Amino acid sequence: GLGDGWNVAMVGCEAVVLVAVAAGAAVVWVLHVMHASVGVDKPTAAQLQEEKHENHALFRHFPSLKHRLAWRELGTFPTPVHRASCSAISFHNSSGAPASTVNFWVKREDLSSAAYGGNKVRTLQHQLAVIEAK
């Protein structure tokens, strides 16, 4: 168990946990590689005028960054979030009763582009804009 009365023994969900941890590590690695490869730059006047910055969550939450980070919209966003579940041997829900399934949400980044999906599109939005700005 995990202590404090939590008893989690999941079948089929181990992969979900591993993917979540790997995804977090991948994001950190991609940001590091992106910064090391092309760096960051301010957007050009054309980028500021042509792009719809409200389509990017980062700029919606931190509007001042749109004047500090070059960006081009390349994919189809936002991508949907789907609910999914997997079976579990023993998992206690919020009421303390044993649950037979674990529910979770999946962000469908694979739908960001018909030609190539995934986080590649989001990474290229910044990298190509930086190259253009330089």
pLDDT tens digits for 81-128?
A: 999 988 776 666 666 666 677 788 999 988 988 887 777 888 889 889
Q: How many CA atoms lie within 13 A of 123 on its CB side?
A: 17
Residue 94 is given by DSSP the state: T
Tokens 């979900």 sit at which residue? Answer: 16
CB 78 within 8 A of CB 108: no
Supply the pTM of this predicted model.
0.57
Helix, coil or strand: residue 9: strand
Describe the crossing of helices 14-37 and 119-133 by its angle, rounded to 10 degrees: 10
Helix, coil or strand: residue 29: helix
